[in-house]
Amino acid sequence: MEKIGFIGLGVMGASMASRLIDAGYELFIYNRTKSKGKALEAKGAHWCDTPRSVAEHADITFTIVGYPRDVEEVYLGKDGLIEGASNGKIFCDMTTTKPSLDMEIAVKLAEKGAEMADAPVSGGDTGARNGTLSIMVGCSAAIFSTLLPLFEKMGKNITHMGPVGSGQHTKMANQIVIAGTMCGVSEALVYGAKAGLDLEKMVNTISKGAAGCWTLDNLAPRVLKGDFEPGFMVDHFIKDMGIALEEAERMELSLPSLALTKQLYLAIKAEGKGKKGTQVLVKALEALAGKEIL
């Protein structure tokens, strides 16, 4: 069985890595904050002091970090993965990042005989814990076949989208839909509250019809409980929307709904809520209404 590297042990990564250990894989881990690796070490994972060390020990290395700059540092920085790459090793970036960045990294890894895949995910912290993530994969057909058994430990809906970069472009489409849906769900909650509806009953009712969606099923109940802790952080969503808008501009596309949603989230971030979950958007709409409704 392959030796697996895993870098990035945040809300998503820790659960994803844990599922690989539970499946019997030998894991080599790294995270900037070492304490986040303690639970995995207790389960048998090996701590490495640098990304380079992870690459040297592992046959296949997964990364899921925060921002494009973090991806660049982990792969191409001092003691980065590129320095431990060698012929036959496989690297898979599951961060949501710029398609062009993963494509650039793929070229540099190929110079060392290593292979690259981009495989961003959707499904939040719940999907990561339960192994039900949607995984959008960009790589060669051969590498996809090699990675598929590992993806199946982390997700359910796993799709090979095409060459490197295709996974990231698919994730951008996913985030565009989520942005609009999050606005719609938040507006519905504020509207329902103002109209005096039983919000729990309302959510249950409309989720059974054409409005049914993951956001209604998973995030609306959190809002009703006053739970604004992150399954996916505002800061990271702003990053994703920025990437999508940048790519859209490059393709000479106008995405006005996405641009508006990003501005609402920037207002939330300015209020110090950047570390909260994306469902906190409802608070921005309350502010626009002039008083607390929920």
The residues carrying an active-site annotation are 171
Instruction: Residue 30: count other Cβ atoms within 10 Å of its Cβ.
Output: 26
Cβ atoms 40, 18 nearer than 8 A: yes
In angstroms, rounded to a whole number, what is the distance separating the alpha carbons of residues 93 and 160? 14
Among residues 294, 286, 239, the alpha carbon closest in space to that of 98 is found at 239
Which structure tokens are listed for 249?
Answer: 């501009």
Give the CA distances from residue 62 to residues 8, 151, 160, 218, 262, in Å, rounded to whole numbers and listed in that order: 9, 10, 17, 27, 29
- Give 233's strand partners: 277
Report, in this order, helix, strand and coil percent for the chain, each rounded to 5: 55, 15, 30
The C-alpha angle 133, 89, 10, rounded to 5 degrees, equals 35
